Amino acid sequence: MRILLAFFLAAAPVFSAPNTAVESRIQKILNRMTLSEKLGQLQQLGGPIEGSSQLMDLARHGKIGATLNVRGAKNLNALQRAAVEGSRLKIPILFGFDVIHGYRTIFPIPLAMASSWDPSLIEKVSRLAAQEATLDGLRWTFSPMVDITRDPRWGRVAEGAGEDPFLGAAMARAYVRGYQGENLSAPDSLAACAKHWVGYGAAEGGRDYSTTEISERTLREIYFPPFKAALDAGALTLMSAFNDLDGVPSSANPFTLTKVLRGEWKFPGFVVSDSNAISELIQHGIAANGAEAAQRALTAGVDMEMHSRLYEENLPTLIKSGLVAQSTVDEAVRRILRVKIALGLFKQPYADETRTSHTPDAAARKMARWAAVRSMVLLKNDGKTLPFSKNLKRVAVIGPLANDTAAELGSWIGNGRLEETITLLAGVRAALPNAKVIFASGCAMSGDSDAGFAKAVRAAQSSDAVVLALGEAGDMTGEATSRAFLNLPGPQINLAKAVLAVGKPTAVVLLNGRPLTLSTLTQRAPAILEAWQPGTEAGNAIADILFGNASPGGKLPMTFPFTLGQVPLYYNHKNTGRPAKDDDHYTSKYIDAPVTPLFPFGWGLSYTSTRLSNLTLSPQKITPDQKTIVHVFVENTGNRLGDEVVELYIRRRAASVTRPVAELKGFQRVTLKPGEKRQLKFDLGPKELGFYGLDMKYAVEPGEYEITVGTSSVGGLTAPLSVSN
């Protein structure tokens, strides 16, 4: 018998569960609102306010509910004054902005933050980001992006937590807690917006904005969990995505926006459309004109319209003709007012103009440096090439990105400043004040010129060690940056070959925002550090690792394919009827490439070594509604302080539907002294063991489960778990 897990389906509403006093206050406001004022609340617009009276005018007439891209306490207060003192009903405006990985202090990109496998760190950095952003008058960020993605061609992989729903959910929770803080109405609480609901990361061909086809089971098991986690953590808002989802675009999809979000999950907050996503329903081909687009989006459950103004233009007629019910508009307004009340905007609509975000202070820089150190992944380290000695006399820093602040920050840099960013070159220089540090860029990021190679080779020849910085330019990841190739752009691989041929101890430092195909580089380079786009303190953090002040301990949140043709390649794939076998031709593999990745999900080395032992489950037999406790020992068997991320996976071999070959269901990052041995404990219960069976109900099916605890998604210790009624 399958035990249904109702508690997992119907979560408690998050921020203040519908509270009668608040609801009656909202109703009173609604009773006084004209249709035009109601539609004003549904409108989000952006743009500069200096020299433009448009936003001011709209504010004065109660015709704008929220803004984006307007910043600065002074600017925003002026606009707020127009709304609160100048408009009839005095409803405050909600000020939004993309605070994605920091506001003034820029932290590693979200994909890098996920590589830290450290939710408490993410909570801390997003708290700091909220404090900085609210100083500039903002109260709403369009973050976290919790889209699961299995295709590194999609440039927005940089903005998410990678390919796994469990890791993604942990990160989603941490961002929301950090942004919103403990008290939503505190002036430094920044409302979170989980985006992009939903399936956007599954864009066909990895092409941004492209179509998606996702089964309901995969939606529920892979794409929904990070959103659910964000809402359970109290996220006030969601953003509806650009993608066509099985023929019904996400910004007009009643199944996802109403049935799941409001029906099953009881989400009390509001949904904002992505930028122009409502008017794009016309291009999608489900609306002949703006009126139809507005009707489809609003009735499906999109409450606020970003940029386009189709609600405002068309809803009066749509209501008059009965095509949209007045109650649908009222409900959308209600959700928006609920969020504004929760944020305390009616009580305190203004920001403190005497304070503004400022150049990162020592504490912010320390946090940025630590976050960057924690997020780096040591992919390869043959012969203990790293860490380098701090006593090196001459070091060559080579590569087109070694002195490039934009590459170190990545996309969506908020109010971050290039000039406040420490480059890799500056970081190495600061770490080795007595050494001669020679810099050669070697090549450009595009074209095929090798004109700079000779100088780079000479720099390598004359040095004791080489740091080779390669990767992607700052504008090669983020929105609308899909790539058809995943190699190092331009002549970088040839530069690497020339420099590595010199034979000096060389560490490649990768600055990039997505998994790349690195098989040639990996064959030749003795050491590779995946630094991602590390943010304001990039260079110092990289130097901390290169010269051994810190040991790397991050792990990959996304598979690195061996070659492009394997994509999409992800660890939690299905087994197929013919799993790959070397000695069996008719199995699921390639005739011209391996079927395995270059670096698997969960992979990462450190400067020490660890060993896992004594995996035990108690009890080993449970009923579907019970839990078992998994214990395992992890020991630092090397002679340096170091981190290990211990990862727990489950596998169900025979079930009512096919299951992935591995599913992450627990992880812990620990720091161990040399020789230190610690016992770790993981809970495994209905929430972790359940899945959507043949009947599409979430349940634990009796049967045999394999529990694997390892240090990546490959290998580890395994023990059986038996579930029976």
List contacts with ligand BGC (CB under 6 A): 68, 98, 142, 195, 274-275, 479
Contact 192, 179 (CB under 8 A): yes
Q: Cβ closer to ligand BGC: 95 or 560?
A: 95
The smaller minimum CB distance to ligand BGC, of residues 275 and 492, is found at: 275
The Cα–Cα gap between 565 and 289 comes to 40
Region for 62 from its dihedrals, namely left if φ exceeds 0, alpha if ψ lies in -120 to 50, beta otherwise: left
Please say which residue, 274 or 292, places its beta carbon nearer to ligand BGC.
274
Tokens read off for 155: 């440039």
CA-based R_g, the chain, Å: 26
Instruction: Report the residue number, 158 or 291, with the smaller CB distance to ligand BGC.
Output: 158
**Comparing C-alpha atoms, which of 133, 144, 141 is closest to residue 171?**
144
Closest approach of Cβ 214 to ligand BGC, in Å?
Answer: 19
The residue among 402, 467, 412 whose CA lies nearest residue 435 is: 467
Nearer to ligand BGC, 331 or 479 (CB): 479
Q: Which of 164, 274, 303, 643 is catalytic?
A: 274
From the CB of 234, what's the least distance to ligand BGC, in Å? 20
**CB 254, min distance to ligand BGC, A:** 22
CB 506 within 8 A of CB 399: no
Name the residue nearer to ligand BGC (CB basis): 201 or 234.
201
User: Residue 388: CA atoms inside 13 Å, Cβ hemisphere, count?
Assistant: 31
DSSP-derived 3-state class of residue 81: helix
Q: How far apart are the C-alpha atoms of 304 and 238, rounded to whole Å?
A: 10
Separation between Cα atoms, residue 192 and residue 213, nearest integer Å? 27
Distances (CA, A) of 610 to 548, 554, 637: 18, 14, 5
* Token duo for residue 597: 């990745």
Q: Which is nearer to ligand BGC, 190 or 612 (CB)?
A: 190
Q: Which of 130, 127, 114, 247 is nearest to 554 (CA)?
A: 114
Q: How far is the CB of 64 from ligand BGC (least distance, A)?
A: 16
Q: Which two tokens stand for residue 340?
A: 């504004």
Minimum distance, C-beta of residue 121 to ligand BGC, in the bound complex (Å): 23
Q: Is 274 a catalytic residue?
A: yes
- Considering all CA atoms of the chain, what is the largest pairwise distance in Å, rounded to the nearest integer? 80
- Tell me the Ramachandran region of residue 718: left when phi exceeds 0, alpha when psi lies from -120 to 50, beta otherwise: beta
Q: How far apart are CA 32 and CA 52, in angstroms?
A: 30
Q: How far is the CB of 272 from ligand BGC (least distance, A)?
A: 9
Nearer to ligand BGC, 95 or 388 (CB): 95
The amino acid occupying position 592 is D
For residue 220, give the nearest of 693, 645, 618, 593 by alpha carbon: 693
The encoded tokens of residue 136 equal: 């500039």
Contact in structure between 703 and 5 (CB atoms under 8 Å): no
3 state SS of 462: coil
Residue closest to ligand BGC, measured at CB: 142
**How far is the C-alpha of 535 from the C-alpha of 71, rounded, in Å?**
21
Whole-number minimum distance, CB 266 to ligand BGC, in Å?
A: 25
Nearer to ligand BGC, 60 or 195 (CB): 195
Nearest distance in Å: CB 250, ligand BGC: 12
Residue given tokens 């627990």 in the structure block: 666
CB of 191 closer than 8 Å to CB of 94: yes
Q: Judge whether 604 and 706 are in contact, CB under 8 Å.
A: no
| Smallest distance, ligand BGC to C-beta of residue 156, A | 8
Helix count and strand count (H, E) for the chain: 23, 25
519: nearest Cα among 599, 595, 448: 599
Short-list 23, 25, 58, CA closest to 40? 58
Alpha-carbon torsion, ordered 512, 517, 521, 522, to 10 deg: 100
Comparing CB distances to ligand BGC, the nearer of 124 and 195 is: 195
In whole angstroms, what is the distance from residue 326 CA to residue 396 CA? Answer: 68
Q: Which is nearer to ligand BGC, 48 or 674 (CB)?
A: 48
Paired strand residues for 616 = 631
Least distance in Å: CB of 79 to ligand BGC?
18
Q: Angle at the Cα of 488 (from 200 to 437), degrees rounded to 5?
A: 125
Q: How far is the CB of 184 from ligand BGC (least distance, A)?
A: 21
Catalytic residues: 274
